[in-house]
Amino acid sequence: MKIVFIKVNMMYSKGKDALKPLIFPIIEKITPSGCTVSFYDERIEALPDEIDADIIAFSVETFAARHAYELADRYRRRSSEVAAKKGEEGKKIRIVMGGFHACAMPDEVLEHADTVLVGDAEDTWPRYIEDVKSGCEKRRYDSQNKCPVAFVDNNAHCFDGKKYLKLGMIQASRGCKFNCDFCSIKSLYPSGVRQKDIGDVVEEIRNSPEKLIFFIDDNLFLNEETARELFKAIRPLKKRWACQISMDIAFNDELLELMYDSGCIMVLIGFESLDERNLRIMHKSANIGIMNKGGEDETGDEETQYDIRIKRYEEAIANIYRHNIMIYAMFVLGYDHDTAESIKRTYDFAVRNDLAVANFNPLMILPGTELYKRMSSEGLLKYNKWWLDKDYRYGDAMFYPKSMTCDELMEGCRKARYDFNGYITILKRMFGAKVNHRGIFNSAVFLLVNLISRSEIHRKQGRSLGGGNEL
């Protein structure tokens, strides 16, 4: 059985920020014997005009959904045309889709695929392949999301000849302990967090050819005990690493010191908003805890309260810097209490605090989330399904904000992105905080990440999803 597995790009143009997709070595490992699997990553390589295979499998994210459907429909049509020319009209190519979007919108996916895999590949993919062999495949396979998180070989053959950023990808857990209303992770893993065996994590890092590692976990700080155990275990490996982590670690000096000693150079933190009222709407409890560190202070007017809470955010940043760790900040803009002025305040905050990197994202309404359900019920969606709408452009507002116009949200985020990643501002931030240029390695990482971020922002902003050249 011949299988072609495709990681779909959100646009036809190739970017500079593609990282190794861990689904490739997982699929390579768990595919039953008697099958040959070829892997394509459209983010870094061109897809063939025609594919001779029994199965084409697509890994689909929401931003790439429209393009994935186009590809599936065209490959199916081409396969039928080729079969007809050969007098093999009965021959059929099977289309199967998985990934985050397939989990959120399985019925929509089945309009373009023969089968949808919902949830973890470790238990859905082998069942599907065995059923295909037996001629009794189903339309839908659901994971219980209880299987062990698979060991990943970062030297797997599926990566041969593919040019990714020199950044090793490691996953120590799946799921998140929080329940932010805009996040799709909780909808995919509602039952909580599953951790990979720490021995497997250590072995994966040890075998990774890259010197710099990125943990793709949605939050590496599950709890103090497991975090401490992980950091102590990877310290002897002498690798540099970065991770996504929640704000509640900002004043935990023991863990921050252990992170730095074990090789951590950068943390990605969801600051999300500078307005506590927005944080309460999105259920961002860790951030609210930082803003109210030492107890809530109700003295003073609203502006004074705002300044007090911003100061606490800045104290958190300063404490992380004190441990020689850079910060990649993520902001979500467009919640109920955001205005055009508050977007500018957020930008000023990011520059003033010399954040190594910052994302200024218009609030993304992802299917499957509580936010999507709420926005839909309140009639605030600008597009019923923005990921399929030909009028939607990357960076556009997906909904009607309550305290500004759609254009003000789009333009405010665009300007913040462009200005923050301007060459002069990049250099100002680099030399404004010692941690951003502390040694050759930090300086190189800072510049590389910022230049890639600048390139990708200019490449994507205002571009259509899919709808490009015909195959």
Tokens of 35: 């099958």
Give mean pLDDT, residues 385-394. 95
% the chain with pLDDT above 70: 96
Pairing of strands 326-333, 264-272: parallel
CA distance 298 to 178: 27
CA distance 4 to 48: 11
**Would you say 401 and 281 are in contact if contact means Cβ atoms under 8 Å apart?**
no
Task: Reduce the DSSP state of residue 94 to 3 states and report it.
Answer: strand
- Report the pLDDT value the prediction gives residue 89, as an integer from 0 to 100: 65
Q: What are the tens digits of pLDDT across the range 415-433?
A: 999 999 999 999 999 999 9
Q: What are the tens digits of pLDDT across the range 139-176?
A: 999 998 888 888 999 999 999 999 999 999 999 998 88
Domains delineated in the chain: 2-142 (3.40.50), 166-460 (3.80.30.20)
Angle between helices 406-420 and 340-352 (to 10 degrees): 10
Q: Is 358 left (phi over 0), alpha (psi -120 to 50) or beta?
A: beta
Q: What are the tens digits of pLDDT across the range 300-341?
A: 677 788 899 999 999 999 999 999 999 999 999 999 999 999
Which pTM does this prediction carry?
0.93
Q: Would the pLDDT of 471 be above 60?
A: no
**Would you say 381 and 399 are in contact if contact means Cβ atoms under 8 Å apart?**
yes
